[in-house]
Amino acid sequence: MTASINERPMCPVCKHRMALARITPGKRGFEERTFECSTCERIEVVSFTVDPMKTDAVGWLAGELKPPQ
Protein backbone atom coordinates (compact mmCIF):
# COMPACT_ATOMS: atom_id res chain seq x y z
CA MET A 1 0.00 0.00 0.00
CA THR A 2 1.47 3.39 -0.96
CA ALA A 3 0.32 6.72 0.35
CA SER A 4 1.56 10.22 0.96
CA ILE A 5 2.90 10.86 4.45
CA ASN A 6 0.07 13.38 5.04
CA GLU A 7 -2.73 11.31 3.51
CA ARG A 8 -5.18 9.04 5.30
CA PRO A 9 -5.66 6.01 3.06
CA MET A 10 -9.00 4.69 1.91
CA CYS A 11 -10.02 1.33 3.35
CA PRO A 12 -9.55 -1.30 0.63
CA VAL A 13 -12.67 -3.16 1.86
CA CYS A 14 -15.37 -0.55 2.53
CA LYS A 15 -13.76 2.54 0.84
CA HIS A 16 -14.06 4.82 3.89
CA ARG A 17 -11.15 6.95 5.15
CA MET A 18 -8.98 5.17 7.70
CA ALA A 19 -7.77 6.86 10.90
CA LEU A 20 -4.16 6.99 12.07
CA ALA A 21 -3.94 4.78 15.15
CA ARG A 22 -0.20 4.75 15.94
CA ILE A 23 3.28 5.51 14.63
CA THR A 24 6.16 3.17 15.48
CA PRO A 25 9.80 3.03 14.40
CA GLY A 26 10.47 0.76 11.45
CA LYS A 27 13.65 -0.27 9.71
CA ARG A 28 16.40 2.34 9.63
CA GLY A 29 15.10 5.39 7.75
CA PHE A 30 11.45 4.30 8.00
CA GLU A 31 8.52 4.53 10.36
CA GLU A 32 5.42 2.36 10.37
CA ARG A 33 2.00 3.95 10.59
CA THR A 34 -0.97 1.85 11.60
CA PHE A 35 -4.34 2.91 10.19
CA GLU A 36 -7.69 1.56 11.40
CA CYS A 37 -11.07 1.68 9.69
CA SER A 38 -13.87 2.56 12.11
CA THR A 39 -16.47 1.16 9.71
CA CYS A 40 -15.23 -2.40 9.06
CA GLU A 41 -12.38 -2.51 11.65
CA ARG A 42 -9.71 -3.38 9.06
CA ILE A 43 -6.11 -2.55 10.02
CA GLU A 44 -3.41 -1.49 7.55
CA VAL A 45 0.29 -0.92 8.36
CA VAL A 46 2.15 1.38 5.96
CA SER A 47 5.90 2.15 5.93
CA PHE A 48 7.01 5.71 5.24
CA THR A 49 10.50 7.04 4.69
CA VAL A 50 11.67 9.46 7.36
CA ASP A 51 13.84 12.47 6.70
CA PRO A 52 16.66 12.14 9.25
CA MET A 53 16.88 15.93 9.54
CA LYS A 54 13.25 16.10 10.73
CA THR A 55 13.57 13.59 13.55
CA ASP A 56 14.82 13.63 17.13
CA ALA A 57 18.35 13.48 15.70
CA VAL A 58 18.11 17.20 14.91
CA GLY A 59 18.00 18.00 18.63
CA TRP A 60 21.17 16.00 19.11
CA LEU A 61 22.86 17.68 16.15
CA ALA A 62 21.93 21.12 17.50
CA GLY A 63 23.07 20.21 21.04
CA GLU A 64 26.16 21.13 23.00
CA LEU A 65 28.57 18.99 21.01
CA LYS A 66 31.12 21.44 19.62
CA PRO A 67 34.37 20.97 17.68
CA PRO A 68 37.63 21.56 19.60
CA GLN A 69 38.93 25.13 19.49
pLDDT in tens, 21-42: 999 988 888 899 999 999 999 9
Domain annotation covers residue 23: yes
Confidence of residue 57 (pLDDT cuts 50, 70, 90): low
Domain annotation covers residue 37: yes
Domain annotation covers residue 31: yes
Domain annotation covers residue 52: no
Domain annotation covers residue 22: yes
* Kind and range of the H or E run holding 59: helix 57-61
Domain annotation covers residue 33: yes
pLDDT at 69 exceeding the cut of 80: no
Domain annotation covers residue 62: no
Give the integer Cα–Cα distance in Å for 44 and 48. Answer: 13
Q: Taking all residues of the chain, what is their mean pLDDT, rounded to a whole number?
A: 79
How many domains does one find in the chain?
A: 1
Range of the domain at 26: 8-44
Strands 30-36 and 43-49: antiparallel
pLDDT at 6 exceeding the cut of 60: yes
